[in-house]
């Protein structure tokens, strides 16, 4: 069947979905590499202020800068922080290009902190090496990216939410279907290569406040990319390695140890005592955090009240103007003052995010997913602990490779009109009903069940109940009801959140051991079992529509580790509590 004539079709060579961090870099790279190619950057919000770095960033969490760290050291650090389950080649591909990207950004006008000698002022936050580079003027990153997109004449399509990847008969990614978030118009973008840059899946769990949009992640990042990749038949990896972060309680934003740590701040228990050696966000650190939180010495606090006035002012300047600037406003209403009292911390809701943990759509060191022509970069792809700089580097890697893939394809992709029509009907159905279940109610229910049954510590029977409940909710999908296009796009998001919740349960049930500290702490399989589980868990949709997992072996290491190094992240609790 042909594409229905009332659905507009736009042709481009490369389609980039998600205009936050990785997406803008990918789109600009395609043009730099091959100016003949046309590139579209499709964004459900507006590229001017979208994504995790909407208001800029406090610093680079993983800068590999000559003289401070080597790519080999970095690969070791990330291997150990991930309990050995990494594809070192893809971590190395990042590490080797990390410095080049810092210089490119510096060249574009992004300012990083330098010392008196003009050298980058890198700080130690990780357990072993030195990788944190502050950017106190980091509020203008989005503006700088925007200028580059304009310069290279990237076609920008704002306020369209991609909903499904389209494939041609040979199974190559060939564009997407998208829905206008303001008018509910359904459109098709036909492309010769597609790069997914849709960020983390940050709306799977419910924040402690109960506010659906009070998430750690930018809530626009709700797992659309994970669901789209899944339905396109791509593999997802390490999904059971949840993202869980230590945050300011209720505010649910970073505290932030990377800013305050180098200046003398630290994470403390109720007695003001340090209980972890290292504030770098890892599963092992989160497990100690969780234990303290649940103990008689809990809850956990950010301690700054011992610092000098100038230091506190410096911290406030960074924390209250960049990244999450409403932090100061939150403290005002609560009567929090870093000078006089410790500020309560808590753990975040769960999510999928390779930027901070390792969960995401599987990619190799070229940014390729398992679907030909489909690439992935940033928080939604599987390269662990990648953070902002990793999103930029993989955006660039994907841009280069997708440009090549698209240029080598000299057909006009043939699309399946019947699939497009069926998808349009699925998308618009909630708008055509007279009444039913509003998306926010269904979303709340899914996310509440995630908290009740999937938030670690994980328990087999609880996760089975979760799966059963998710499958019951699936039966309710024909009742989803939207009163306007805005609610309709939330209804589409809700369906993707349900997909992600189900994936979180299935992947977690599959791995019958504990690993990555709190991220996959299974009470009924409390030990790490390298014999059976030193591997990636891959999740995908089989041709008959079933959600299944299999084990992907770990590729031979390219950087060897000795036994002492392997243990480094297992000793994060301070030996004897020291008074601050």
Least Cα distance to 165 among 16, 380, 342 occurs for: 16
φ, ψ of residue 59 to 5 degrees: the values are: 175, 170
Segment 172 to 201, residues that bind ligand FAD, using CB under 6 A: 197-199
Q: Segment contacting other proteins (CB under 8 A): 184-192, 330-338, 369-377, 444-452? A: 330-338
CB 262 within 8 A of CB 123: yes
**Are the C-beta atoms of 133 and 65 separated by less than 8 Å?**
yes
Stretch that binds ligand FAD, among 119-127, 183-191, 213-221, 360-368 (CB under 6 A): 213-221
Q: How far is the CB of 488 from other proteins (least distance, A)?
A: 12
**Minimum CB–partner distance for residue 28 and ligand FAD (Å):** 13
Q: Does 50 participate in binding ligand FAD (rule CB under 6 A)? A: yes
Rounded Cα distance, 407 and 10, in Å: 18
Peptide bond into 567 cis (omega under 30): no
Minimum separation from the CB atom of position 504 to ligand FAD (A): 18
Interior CA angle at 402 toward 398 and 403, to 5°?
115
Could you say which of ligand FAD, other proteins, none residue 63 binds, taking C-beta under 5 to 8 angstroms by partner kind?
none
Residue of 13, 23, 174, 449 that binds ligand FAD (CB under 6 A): 23
- Is-contact 355 326, C-beta < 8 A? no
Residue 108 makes contact with other proteins by CB under 8 A: no
Coil vs helix vs strand at 438: coil
The answer to whether 226 contacts ligand FAD (rule: CB under 6 A) is: no
- Environment class of 435 (CB within 10 Å of its CB; exposed 0-12, middle 13-18, buried 19+): exposed
Give the pair of three-digit tokens for residue 474. 């699936």
CA nearest to 240, candidates 517, 431, 35, 432: 517
Helices (H) then strands (E): counts for the chain: 16, 21
Q: Which of 54, 357, 382, 514 binds other proteins (CB under 8 A)?
A: 54
Q: Does 48 bind other proteins (CB under 8 A)?
A: yes
List of residues 6+ apart from 50 with CB closer than 8 A: 19, 20, 43, 44, 142, 218, 220
| Residue closer to ligand FAD (CB basis): 128 or 377 | 377
| CB of 569 vs ligand FAD, minimal distance in Å | 19
Dist CA 280 CA 291 (whole Å): 17
Task: Report which of 47, 52, 42, 49 is spatially closest to residue 17, judged by C-alpha positions.
Answer: 42
Q: Which of residues 160-199 bind other proteins (CB under 8 A)?
A: 181-182
Is 367 a binding residue for ligand FAD by CB under 6 A? The answer is no
Q: How far apart, in Å, do the first and last CA atoms of the chain sit?
A: 71
Question: Which of ligand FAD, other proteins, none sits in contact with 175, Cβ below 5 to 8 A by type?
Answer: none
* Strand pairing report for 360-361 and 374-376: unpaired
Residues from 207 through 236 that contact other proteins (CB under 8 A): 209-215, 218-220
Among 4-12, 45-53, 500-508, 540-548, which window interacts with other proteins (CB under 8 A)?
A: 45-53
Residue 427 C-beta: closest distance to ligand FAD, Å: 12
Please say which residue, 427 or 507, places its beta carbon nearer to other proteins: 427
Q: Is 579 helix (H, G, I), strand (E, B) or coil?
A: coil
Which of other proteins, ligand FAD, none sits in contact with 48, Cβ below 5 to 8 A by type? other proteins
The window from 300-308, 385-393, 441-449, 540-548 that contacts ligand FAD (CB under 6 A) reads 385-393
- Residue 53 Cβ, how far from other proteins at the closest point, in Å? 10
Q: How far is CA 253 from the centre of its chain?
A: 15
Omega within 30 of 0 (cis) for the link into 299? yes
Assign 175 to helix, strand or coil: strand
Q: Which of ligand FAD, other proteins, none sits in contact with 338, Cβ below 5 to 8 A by type?
A: none
Which residue's Cβ lies closest to ligand FAD? 20
One of 205, 254, 283, 399 touching ligand FAD (CB under 6 A): 254
- Please tell me the distance from the alpha carbon of residue 432 to that of residue 289, in angstroms, as a whole number: 48
User: Which partner, other proteins, ligand FAD, none, binds residue 387 by CB below 5 to 8 Å per kind?
Assistant: ligand FAD
Q: Which residues bind ligand FAD (CB under 6 A)?
A: 17-23, 42-45, 50-53, 57-61, 161-162, 197-199, 216-218, 220-221, 224-225, 253-254, 323-324, 355, 378-380, 387-389, 391
Q: Which residues bind other proteins (CB under 8 A)?
A: 45-46, 48-51, 54-55, 159, 181-182, 209-215, 218-220, 250-252, 324-326, 329-330, 333-334, 435-438, 479, 481, 486, 489-490
């Amino acid at each position: 069947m042909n594409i229905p004539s009332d659905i507009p079709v736009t042709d481009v060579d490369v389609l980039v979905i998600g205009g936050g961090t990785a997406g803008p870099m990918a789109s600009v790279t395609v043009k730099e590499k091959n100016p003949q190619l046309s590139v579209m950057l499709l964004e459900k919000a507006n590229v001017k202020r979208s994504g995790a770095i909407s208001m800029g960033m406090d610093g680079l969490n993983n800068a590999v800068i000559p003289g401070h760290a080597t790519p080999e050291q970095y690969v070791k650090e990330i291997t150990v922080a991930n309990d050995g389950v990494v594809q070192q080649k893809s971590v190395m591909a990042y590490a080797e290009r990390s410095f080049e990207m810092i210089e490119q950004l510096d060249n574009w006008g992004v300012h990083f902190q330098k010392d008196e000698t003009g050298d980058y002022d890198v700080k130690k936050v990780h357990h072993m090496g030195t990788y944190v580079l502050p950017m106190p003027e980091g509020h203008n990153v989005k503006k700088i990216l925007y200028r580059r997109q304009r310069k290279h004449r990237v076609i920008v399509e704002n306020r369209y939410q991609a909903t499904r990847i389209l494939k041609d008969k040979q199974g190559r990614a060939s564009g997407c279907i998208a829905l206008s978030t303001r008018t509910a118009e359904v459109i098709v973008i036909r492309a010769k290569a597609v790069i997914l840059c849709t960020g983390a899946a940050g709306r799977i769990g419910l924040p402690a406040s109960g506010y659906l949009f009070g998430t750690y992640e930018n809530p626009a990042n709700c797992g659309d990319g994970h669901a789209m990749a899944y339905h396109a038949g791509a593999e997802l990896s390490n999904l059971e390695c949840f993202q869980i972060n230590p945050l300011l309680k209720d505010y649910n934003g970073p505290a932030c140890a990377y800013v305050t740590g180098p200046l003398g701040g630290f994470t403390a228990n109720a007695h003001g005592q340090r209980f972890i050696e290292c504030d770098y966000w890892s599963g092992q650190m989160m497990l100690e955090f969780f234990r303290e939180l649940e103990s008689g010495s809990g809850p956990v606090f950010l301690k700054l009240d011992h610092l000098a006035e100038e230091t506190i002012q410096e911290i406030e300047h960074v924390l209250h103007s960049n990244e999450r600037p409403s932090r100061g406003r939150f403290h005002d209403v609560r009567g929090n003052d870093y000078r006089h009292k410790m500020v309560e911390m808590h753990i975040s809701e769960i999510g999928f995010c390779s930027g901070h943990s390792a969960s995401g759509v599987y990619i190799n060191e070229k940014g390729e997913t398992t679907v030909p022509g489909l690439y992935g970069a940033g928080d939604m792809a599987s390269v662990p602990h990648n953070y902002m700089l990793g999103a930029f580097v993989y955006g660039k890697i994907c841009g280069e490779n997708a440009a090549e893939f698209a240029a080598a394809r000299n057909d006009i992709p043939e699309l399946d009109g019947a699939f497009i029509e069926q998808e349009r009907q699925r998308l618009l159905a909630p708008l055509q009903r007279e009444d039913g279940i509003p998306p926010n109610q269904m979303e709340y229910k899914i996310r509440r069940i995630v908290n009740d049954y999937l938030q670690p510590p994980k328990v087999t029977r609880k996760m089975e109940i979760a799966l059963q409940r998710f499958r019951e909710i699936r039966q309710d999908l024909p009742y989803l009801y939207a009163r306007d296009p805005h609610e309709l796009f939330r209804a589409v998001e809700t369906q993707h959140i349900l997909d992600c919740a189900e994936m979180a349960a299935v992947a977690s049930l599959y791995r019958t051991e504990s690993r990555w500290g709190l991220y996959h702490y299974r009470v009924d399989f409390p030990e790490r079992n390298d014999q059976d589980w030193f591997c990636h868990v891959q999740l995908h949709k089989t041709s008959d529509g079933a959600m299944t997992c299999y084990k992907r072996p770990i590729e031979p290491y390219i950087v060897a580790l000795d036994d002492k190094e392997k243990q480094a992240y297992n000793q994060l609790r301070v030996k004897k509590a020291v008074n601050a």
